[in-house]
């Protein structure tokens, strides 16, 4: 041993920080971590019924698997007292040892309907009494159901050998689960949480905005997804999927309108709907007109439903991106193969970066391949490849096996496309990174896209000019229909207000900008007038006006200056009678580039501008995209997984809705939380289990 220590040397007992560790500081507590080689053999049959517990302060204990009583298990005490207990325990409990001796080695026999007296959790301190822990079978089943829901796992996972092995190792007392049992659990959870969401929508202080989108399965089935967007009592933007239904062909406007209308009726939110945002499809106008006509008959719309119809902005942006990529799709393919060639060999990869450093190129960013289903990855691949352009050209000259060389003309096309798409990428990143994409963000962002398209059309001719003109025509159609709603939402942002909107319109339309500004201001004042009429209490400014008038009329001094008092009173009354919207617009704007949480701003202003803040809450809720921020870069429709596509329509709806509700409640950690409730397991949907 001395020779061995000498070979290791003094540095062996040093940690990473350079401090010397004393060999005596590492102490193994043999009373807790016993070596299996030193443990006496427990070959007596009493150990079929008894189980040894972790030693505590050198005192060994054993627990009876039948009645859970604990006895000493010292090696000097023998096993006679344990054998006597077994005989008494069997007589007292009427247990059948022959049938259950094997099972007793793994499972406790003394159990009630729902709880077992065993250890819960992952690791338990050896000094903690075992009796203080309870195993809640219902809670574990609920956790397994939530795992299947959130992670989109198939039901058969509970019957897989690996899953059952893990469960048996972690909790041997837990009974086996079948896929039918877990389906019943999920149905029960869905029914309970559906009522929670119903209560959440009913207690919503403001109006609710809806989005409608289409999902597809691998069988090309179409599903309509209706999502509710609202701001809760704490001024947090929330969203919940309310309906996810299979639409039989034909997929026409009337079918979509019926699905959305039925959703509003079932959730009892017809009177609270403020807007409906649809996908950017040709049939959207017909759907919006049908719904608007139905709700107009019941007089549910404020200000004649001007804000009712909205269309998805992300769709039009993705359409422009796809058109831009299609122009250089062959070049992108060659670039992708060239990057693969470099990355497939560690030697080539190392030499490539050596070449880049030799050419004084920035090697902080590394070459990356794209995922064709997400266009931002293709954009990033192009961006990095342009940084290594000279390295690729040098590689093509030195390596004869590199056959994916891009010509100078092709590199120029890639560069032009990258510059064109940069603005759209930056705009999409705003939506992607913002977890609460309120409607005030979109006017400035989409104005940038509008300006970029106009500059490209007016600029010198290139290979993209024809495509840009086509995309500009489609974008102008979108902008002409929805810039009014976007500008009104921007005015309610304290950084923008009217002056910023006027500036943007002037850049686009020159002298004709004033008509757009006037339309936005008049629309906002008209909507505010409706909110004032529906308010339960009169405005504070109006009360001040009445008091001022009364004070001026009570004075009756005929000293020759009565005209002055009338003049002064009229001027003061005009100032006091300013509405909440007037006062808000008169306030100086915040810095244009400042970071402001607009919902927090209106939370603080809710006491000073009560009616205006209610209006701002509803306008800012309007979703300008039917696509979740996490999927802002996805190309094509959202697709249901293969495992879920084979399920019945109602079960798919339960899974999709529950996944959305659980993730949303986890983010907010408040409203709509998945709290455990004690309910009878027999509670189920009125539709019956067979429908799922």
Q: Report pLDDT for 507.
A: 94
Q: What is the mean pLDDT of residues 519-524?
A: 96
Does residue 360 belong to any structural domain of this protein?
yes
> Which stretch of 28-37, 48-57, 489-498 has the lowest confidence by average pLDDT?
28-37
On whether the CB atoms of residues 298 and 270 are closer than 8 A, the answer is yes
CATH, residue 243: 3.30.420
Angle, helices 513-533/465-491, rounded to nearest 10 degrees: 40
Q: Is the pLDDT of residue 488 over 70?
A: yes
> φ and ψ at 31, to 5 degrees?
-75, -20
Q: Report pLDDT for 66.
A: 80
Does residue 606 belong to any structural domain of this protein?
no
List all residues 6 or more positions away from 427 whose beta carbon is below 8 Å from its beta carbon: 317, 445, 446, 448, 449
On whether the CB atoms of residues 230 and 614 are closer than 8 A, the answer is no
Residue 169 CB: number of other CB atoms within 10 A? 8
Domain match, 292 and 401 both: no
Q: Is the pLDDT of residue 38 over 70?
A: no
List all residues 6 or more positions away from 303 whose beta carbon is below 8 Å from its beta carbon: 523, 526, 527, 529, 530
On whether the CB atoms of residues 223 and 217 are closer than 8 A, the answer is yes
Q: Is the pLDDT of residue 18 over 50?
A: no
Positive or negative CA dihedral for 686, 690, 691, 692? positive
Q: How confident is the model at residue 569 (pLDDT cuts 50, 70, 90)?
A: low
Q: Report pLDDT for 668.
A: 63
Domain match, 468 and 326 both: yes
**And the tokens for 199?**
């209560």
State how far the Cα of 620 lies from the Cα of 230, in Å rounded to an integer. 9
> Which stretch of 400-409, 519-528, 671-680 has the lowest confidence by average pLDDT?
671-680
Q: Is the pLDDT of residue 58 over 90?
A: no
Q: Is the peptide bond before 311 cis (omega within 30 degrees of 0)?
A: no
Domain match, 279 and 401 both: no
Q: Is the pLDDT of residue 26 over 80?
A: no
Does residue 296 belong to any structural domain of this protein?
yes
On whether the CB atoms of residues 381 and 336 are closer than 8 A, the answer is yes
Question: What residues does 63 pair with on adjacent strands?
Answer: 51, 70
Q: How confident is the model at residue 132 (pLDDT cuts 50, 70, 90)?
A: low
Domain match, 166 and 201 both: no
Stronger pLDDT, 638 or 610, i.e. the higher one? 610
| Three-class secondary structure of residue 4 per DSSP | helix
Q: Is the pLDDT of residue 121 over 70?
A: no
Q: What is the mean pLDDT of residues 45-69?
A: 80
Question: What residues does 618 pair with on adjacent strands?
Answer: none
Q: Report pLDDT for 71.
A: 82
Stronger pLDDT, 620 or 571, i.e. the higher one? 620
The DSSP secondary-structure symbol of 14 reads: B
Domain match, 141 and 239 both: no
Q: Is the pLDDT of residue 33 over 50?
A: no
pLDDT digits (tens, 9 = 90+) for 411-450: 999 999 999 999 999 999 888 888 778 999 999 999 999 9
Burial class (CB in 10 A: 0-12, 13-18, 19+), 368: middle
Question: What residues does 136 pair with on adjacent strands?
Answer: 115
3-state DSSP of 412-441: HHHHHHHHHHHHHHHHHHHHHHCCCCCHHH
Q: Report pLDDT for 669.
A: 55
Q: Is the pLDDT of residue 526 over 90?
A: yes
On whether the CB atoms of residues 489 and 496 are closer than 8 A, the answer is no
List all residues 6 or more positions away from 630 whose beta carbon is below 8 Å from its beta carbon: 432
Stronger pLDDT, 484 or 80, i.e. the higher one? 484
Domain match, 292 and 256 both: yes
Q: Is the pLDDT of residue 230 over 50?
A: yes
| Alpha helices by DSSP H, 459-512 | 465-491, 497-509
Does residue 535 belong to any structural domain of this protein?
no
What percent of the chain clears pLDDT 90, i.e. is strictly above it?
A: 55
Stronger pLDDT, 63 or 275, i.e. the higher one? 275
State the residue for tokens 């009373």. Answer: 31
Q: How confident is the model at residue 86 (pLDDT cuts 50, 70, 90)?
A: confident
Does residue 14 belong to any structural domain of this protein?
no
Q: How confident is the model at residue 20 (pLDDT cuts 50, 70, 90)?
A: very low
CA atoms within 13 A on the CB side of 296: 13
State how far the Cα of 243 lies from the Cα of 212, in Å rounded to an integer. 10
Beta strands in 279-364 (DSSP E): 309-311
Q: Is the pLDDT of residue 152 over 70?
A: yes
Q: What is the mean pLDDT of residues 294-301?
A: 84
State how far the Cα of 522 lies from the Cα of 543, in Å rounded to an integer. 24
pLDDT digits (tens, 9 = 90+) for 244-267: 999 988 888 889 999 999 999 999
Q: Is the pLDDT of residue 461 over 80?
A: yes
Smallest CA-to-CA distance from 406 within 422, 418, 384, 391 is with 391
Q: Report pLDDT for 90.
A: 62
Stronger pLDDT, 516 or 628, i.e. the higher one? 516
Does residue 173 belong to any structural domain of this protein?
yes
pLDDT digits (tens, 9 = 90+) for 640-691: 888 888 899 999 999 999 999 999 887 665 433 333 333 333 333 344 455 5
Domain match, 325 and 308 both: no
Average pLDDT of the chain to the nearest whole number = 80
**And the tokens for 189?**
């959870």
List all residues 6 or more positions away from 456 whose beta carbon is below 8 Å from its beta carbon: 420, 464, 465, 468, 472
> φ and ψ at 521, to 5 degrees?
-65, -45
**And the tokens for 292?**
């608007």
pLDDT digits (tens, 9 = 90+) for 600-618: 999 999 999 999 999 999 9
Q: Report pLDDT for 661.
A: 95
State how far the Cα of 153 lies from the Cα of 166, in Å rounded to an integer. 16
**And the tokens for 111?**
């159990």
Domain termination residue (choose one: 57, 91, 125) = 91
Q: Report pLDDT for 125.
A: 43
Domain termination residue (choose one: 35, 60, 91) = 91
State how far the Cα of 669 lies from the Cα of 663, in Å rounded to an integer. 10
Domain match, 170 and 271 both: no
Q: How confident is the model at residue 631 (pLDDT cuts 50, 70, 90)?
A: confident
Enclosing domain of residue 79: 47-91
Stronger pLDDT, 27 or 353, i.e. the higher one? 353
Q: How confident is the model at residue 52 (pLDDT cuts 50, 70, 90)?
A: confident
Q: How many domains does the chain have?
A: 4
Q: Report pLDDT for 213.
A: 92
Q: Report pLDDT for 570.
A: 55
List all residues 6 or more positions away from 483 whose beta carbon is below 8 Å from its beta carbon: 443, 516
Domain match, 379 and 515 both: yes
Cα-based torsion angle of the residue sequence 13, 17, 18, 22 in order, rounded to the nearest 10 degrees: -40
Q: Report pLDDT for 122.
A: 39
Q: What is the mean pLDDT of residues 372-383?
A: 92
Q: Report pLDDT for 577.
A: 78
Domain match, 292 and 326 both: no
Q: How confident is the model at residue 559 (pLDDT cuts 50, 70, 90)?
A: low
Termini Cα distance of the chain = 70
Burial class (CB in 10 A: 0-12, 13-18, 19+), 233: exposed
Stronger pLDDT, 177 or 37, i.e. the higher one? 177
State how far the Cα of 443 lies from the Cα of 434, in Å rounded to an integer. 15
Q: Is the pLDDT of residue 536 over 90?
A: no
Q: Is the pLDDT of residue 196 over 50?
A: yes
Q: Is the pLDDT of residue 367 over 90?
A: yes
Domain match, 162 and 197 both: no
Stronger pLDDT, 563 or 217, i.e. the higher one? 217
Smallest CA-to-CA distance from 307 within 334, 333, 274, 280 is with 274
Q: Is the pLDDT of residue 465 over 50?
A: yes
What percent of the chain clears pLDDT 70, i.e. is strictly above it?
A: 77
Q: What is the mean pLDDT of residues 271-296?
A: 87
> Which stretch of 56-70, 341-355, 671-685 has the lowest confidence by average pLDDT?
671-685
Does residue 538 belong to any structural domain of this protein?
no
Burial class (CB in 10 A: 0-12, 13-18, 19+), 602: buried
Stronger pLDDT, 335 or 543, i.e. the higher one? 335
Does residue 581 belong to any structural domain of this protein?
no
Q: Is the pLDDT of residue 30 over 50?
A: no
Q: Is the pLDDT of residue 9 over 60?
A: no
Domain match, 62 and 76 both: yes
State how far the Cα of 158 lies from the Cα of 167, in Å rounded to an integer. 9
> Which stretch of 352-356, 410-414, 558-562 has the lowest confidence by average pLDDT?
558-562
């Amino acid at each position: 041993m001395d020779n061995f220590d000498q070979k290791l040397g003094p540095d062996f007992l040093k940690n990473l920080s350079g401090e010397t560790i004393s060999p005596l500081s590492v102490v193994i507590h043999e009373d807790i971590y016993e070596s299996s080689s030193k443990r006496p053999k427990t070959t007596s049959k009493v150990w079929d019924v008894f189980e040894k517990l972790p030693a505590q302060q050198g005192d060994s204990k054993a627990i009876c698997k039948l009645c859970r009583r604990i006895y000493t298990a010292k090696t000097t005490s023998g096993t006679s007292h344990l054998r006597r207990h077994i005989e008494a325990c069997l007589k007292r409990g009427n247990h059948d040892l022959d049938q259950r001796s094997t099972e007793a080695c793994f499972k406790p026999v003394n159990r009630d309907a729902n709880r077992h007296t065993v250890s819960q959790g992952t690791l338990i301190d050896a000094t903690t009494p075992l009796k203080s822990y309870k195993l809640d079978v219902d809670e574990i089943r609920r956790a397994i159901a939530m795992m299947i829901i959130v992670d989109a796992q198939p039901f058969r996972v509970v019957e897989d050998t690996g899953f059952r092995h893990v469960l048996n190792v972690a909790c041997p007392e837990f009974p086996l689960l079948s896929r039918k049992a877990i389906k019943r659990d999920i149905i029960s959870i869905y029914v309970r949480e559906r009522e929670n969401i119903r209560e959440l929508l009913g207690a919503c202080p403001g109006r609710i905005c809806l989005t409608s989108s289409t999902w597809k399965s691998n069988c090309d089935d179409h599903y309509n997804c209706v999502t509710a967007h609202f701001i809760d009592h704490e001024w947090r933007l929330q969203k919940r999927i309310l309906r996810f239904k299979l639409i039989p062909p034909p997929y026409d406007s009337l079918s979509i309108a019926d699905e959305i209308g039925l959703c509003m009726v079932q959730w009892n939110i017809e009177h609270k709907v403020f807007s409906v945002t649809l996908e950017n499809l040709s049939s959207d106008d017909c759907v919006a007109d049908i719904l608007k006509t139905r709700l107009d008959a019941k007089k549910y719309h404020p200000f004649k439903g001007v804000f009712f119809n909205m269309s998805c902005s992300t769709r039009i942006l993705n359409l422009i991106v796809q058109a831009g990529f299609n122009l250089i799709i062959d070049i992108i393919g060659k670039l992708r193969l060239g990057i693969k060639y470099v990355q497939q060999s560690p030697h080539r990869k190392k030499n490539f970066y050596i070449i880049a450093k030799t050419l004084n190129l920035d090697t902080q960013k590394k070459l990356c391949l794209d995922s064709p289903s997400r266009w931002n990855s293709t954009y990033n691949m192009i961006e990095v490849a342009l940084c290594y352009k000279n390295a690729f050209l040098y590689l093509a000259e030195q390596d004869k096996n590199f056959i994916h060389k891009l010509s100078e003309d092709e590199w120029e096309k890639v560069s032009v496309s990258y510059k064109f798409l940069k603005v759209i990428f930056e705009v999409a990143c705003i939506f992607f990174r913002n977890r609460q994409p309120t409607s005030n963000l979109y006017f400035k962002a989409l104005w940038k896209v509008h300006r970029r398209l106009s500059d490209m059309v007016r600029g010198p001719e290139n290979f993209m000019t024809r495509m840009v003109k086509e995309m500009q025509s489609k974008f102008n159609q979108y902008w002409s229909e929805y810039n009014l709603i976007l500008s009104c939402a921007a005015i309610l942002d304290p950084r923008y207000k009217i002056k910023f909107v006027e500036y943007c319109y002037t850049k686009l339309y020159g002298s004709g900008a004033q008509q757009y500004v006037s339309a936005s201001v008049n629309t906002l004042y008209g909507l505010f007038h409706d909110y004032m009429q529906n308010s339960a209490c009169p405005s504070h400014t109006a009360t001040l006006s009445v008091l001022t008038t009364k004070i001026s009329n009570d004075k009756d001094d005929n000293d020759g200056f009565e005209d002055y008092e009338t003049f002064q009173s009229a001027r003061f009354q005009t100032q006091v009678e300013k509405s909440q919207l007037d006062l808000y617009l008169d306030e100086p704007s915040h810095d244009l580039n400042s970071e402001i949480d607009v919902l927090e701003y209106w939370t603080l202003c809710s006491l000073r501008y009560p009616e205006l803040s209610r209006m701002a809450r509803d306008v800012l809720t309007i979703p300008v995209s039917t696509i979740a921020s996490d999927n802002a870069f996805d190309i094509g429709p959202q697709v249901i997984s293969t495992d879920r596509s084979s399920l019945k329509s109602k079960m798919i709806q339960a899974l999709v809705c529950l996944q959305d509700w659980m993730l949303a409640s986890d983010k907010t950690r408040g409203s709509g939380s998945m709290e455990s409730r004690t309910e009878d397991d027999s509670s189920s949907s009125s539709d019956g289990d067979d429908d799922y």
